[in-house]
Structure 1
Amino acid sequence: MSVLHNKISNAELKRKMMEETENRVTISFYCYFTIVDPKSFRDWLYKNLFALKVFGRIYIAHEGINAQISVPESNFEAMKQLLYSIEPLNGLRLNIAIDDDGKSFWVLRIKVRARIVADGIDDPSFSMQNKGKYVNAGQMNELLNDPNTIVVDMRNHYEYEVGHFVKALEVPSDTFRDQLPMAVDMLKGNEEKNIIMYCTGGIRCEKASAFMLHKGFNNVFHLEGGIINYARQVKEAGLESKFIGKNFVFDERLGERITEDIIAHCHHCGKPCDTHTNCKNDGCHLLFIQCKECATKYDGCCSIECKDTLHMPVERQKEIRKGIDKGQNIFNKSKTRLRPKLKDIAGS
């Protein structure tokens, strides 16, 4: 029987990946198209990508595919031709990572989901067929210079915090499904202005652009390929980057540097810093920003409580975290979840 699921421990897989000598390329892509049988498509894709030593995270749904992967350089063309053999994906843009050490993933996971991006849309009249106009890097810069333009960041706070386009509006919510109606409410009265939506790789802003048109906005655009593609085009064409700081990415790297600007701050001491990390306490794993000095001081933990727990015997740690629901701690809005802990630290 063909291998359709990983059966090796994460620790062993990560060790093997770190020992690899061939360079890997980190890629992201997505496509909205109809998949009649997501489970069969998932199994076929897993078998073929596994044979090419592809690692990464892929979601399959009736509405399409959303993928972040890494592939050995020698298998890149074969992987590309495999994807292009699927008619709706033929010629699909592949976003190649900018700041990449090839160590982004160490296992292949392909999951069938209800949606490739959770949107909460239950209106049967909504359609992805009517979506905003694509803009490239040059067009994005031109529109940003137009006073009749409003640019909207469709990412979460922890992404926006370390890097964003100049004058970009943040939609203050923990989830994309909540951001969609919030964006509509925030922009009421601006139905005739240029509305540009953007996100990391394009998948969220493409759906957001369709939703805005569905809600009566008339001049809606979305950044083709998101920040990843924008950064590449800016570099290749020698354009000014209107995106400043770091682009948060959902893999082991946790970020790609786009410009040298550091616009975020250490969540402990307030020093300029844009390095995301996960709390080392296995009962927490909170995502937050931490400078090198504070990482040393708190042993890579988000609080004194977690630091103390980290140094307890392993069995005691397991006992403490029994029944704990970490919820969205790993990828969450750090400013809302971490601040209470930091207040406790300051007062200790």
Structure 2
Amino acid sequence: MTASASAAEPFKVMALYKFADLPDAAAIRPVLAAFCCARRIRGTLILAPEGINGTVAGTPDAIADLHRYLLAEGPFDTRLAGAEIKFSHAREMPFLRMKVRLKPEIVTLRAPEANPARIVGTYVAPDQWNALIARNDVVVVDTRNDYEVGLGTFRRALDPGTRTFTEFKDFVARELDPARDRKVAMFCTGGIRCEKASAYLLAQGFEEVFHLKGGILAYLEQVPAERSRFDGECFVFDERVSVGHGLVEGEASLCRACRHPLTAMECADPAFVEGVSCPHCAGDAARERTLKQARVAERQRQVELARARGLAHLGDDATRTAQEQKCRKQARKEASRQRQSGQ
């Protein structure tokens, strides 16, 4: 990245995951959270006995510190060596706060037989992906959820139509057959879901299972746009909403009422009212819509008021602002009390 581009996008974003043996995940959680908060890093990291997953952002120096801490200097020792890590940049801080969560799985499938640490499909490098998915004997499957697929996907890819990753098992049982679909190629945002999905398919008896190493993000970073077989933009789980080739921020936006990603065409729809509704949630029942829109309209009003005053409305910045305002109010009350007691 050039100096001018770096100045325009001062925040560095790190997405990572690693299936690893972390029986001490609960003990690591507060230590990792303190490390990130001390460096004003924001985002979400998920810890589980099976590994780590998440996306965070901060200054380049802060992210470099965290990178070293995770791979060599911190409580993980060398257990995260070889983690799948993807860096990108953002114009503004894409997260509101820092969260380190402890969960049973780093990506929830609820299928104990799917253990990527024991068995996993064949990794396919981004520069080899086009040739694989062009083959007629390969079934291509997008393992992401419906709202992600709606923004962009690879040509010929099957859309499982899932709302959550746990529904992927139902899609496999309904639409795929190991006797018929002998070669299956899967992809997802950063690689983690396909890794677990490939382990699941192998456990179900599928013969050859491939998955895109590093996911769509690696593909968009490494494959030139003129050679791309990916149409649209890739949804990301932060305030950037989507990215395109070169991992530049995309054109998609987010409905603040239902959290559904929106294309430019959907934002031009009459049903789209910023902060209130979009084509995906405007069809709610009249009463529920009225109540919801009243709540989100008030929230949008508060956001706009805070913006006009130069204040943050959500996240850690808003928390600090509220604390500062509370302290000032208490100081005024104390000063008033002292004046009255001195009279």
Normalization by structure 1: what TM-score? 0.71
Query: Match of 2:25?
Result: 38
Query: Match of 1:15?
Result: none
Q: CA deviation at 1:244?
A: 1.1
Equivalent residue letter for 2:203: H
Q: CA deviation at 1:192?
A: 5.8
User: Which secondary structure state, in structure 2, belongs to the residue aligned with residue 221 of structure 1?
Assistant: strand
* Cα distance in 2 between the residues matched to 1:110 and 1:313: 30
Q: CA deviation at 1:312?
A: 7.4
* Cα distance in 2 between the residues matched to 1:192 and 1:246: 28
| 8 Å Cα contact 1:25/1:102 also seen in 2 | no
Query: Match of 1:111?
Result: 101
Moved more, 224-233 or 50-59: 50-59
Structure 1 pair 225/311, CA: closer, same or farther in 2 (3 Å)?
closer
The 5 Å alignment of 1:146-161 reads 146-161=135-150
* Cα distance in 2 between the residues matched to 1:166 and 1:306: 40
Larger Rg computed on CA atoms: 2
Structure 1 pair 312/87, CA: closer, same or farther in 2 (3 Å)?
closer
Structure 1 pair 216/308, CA: closer, same or farther in 2 (3 Å)?
closer
Q: CA deviation at 1:239?
A: 6.5
Unaligned residue ranges in structure 2 (runs of 5+): 1-6, 283-288, 303-343
Output one character per residue of 1:267-322: Cα deviation in whole Å (capped at 9) or x when no partner.
xxxxxx97342244xxxx442536444479634422373686259778xx9xxxxx
Alignment size in residue pairs: 275
Moved more, 75-84 or 152-161: 75-84
Equivalent residue letter for 1:301: V
- Structure having the higher helix fraction is 2
Structure 1 pair 54/196, CA: closer, same or farther in 2 (3 Å)?
same
Equivalent residue letter for 1:249: V
Percent of paired sites with the same residue? 28
User: Which secondary structure state, in structure 2, belongs to the residue aligned with residue 88 of structure 1?
Assistant: coil
* Residues 1:275 and 2:260 aligned together: no
Moved more, 200-209 or 43-52: 43-52
User: Which secondary structure state, in structure 2, belongs to the residue aligned with residue 87 of structure 1?
Assistant: coil
Output one character per residue of 1:208-263: Cα deviation in whole Å (capped at 9) or x when no partner.
0000011111110111111111111114xx7611111010011111111249xxxx
- Specify which of 262, 273, 289 is matched with residue 289 of structure 1: 262
- Specify which of 159, 176, 201 is matched with residue 165 of structure 2: 176
The 5 Å alignment of 1:2-21 reads none
* Residues 1:230 and 2:219 aligned together: yes
Query: Match of 1:64?
Result: 51
* Cα distance in 2 between the residues matched to 1:117 and 1:89: 17
Structure 1 pair 96/239, CA: closer, same or farther in 2 (3 Å)?
farther
Q: CA deviation at 1:194?
A: 2.2
* Cα distance in 2 between the residues matched to 1:311 and 1:150: 42
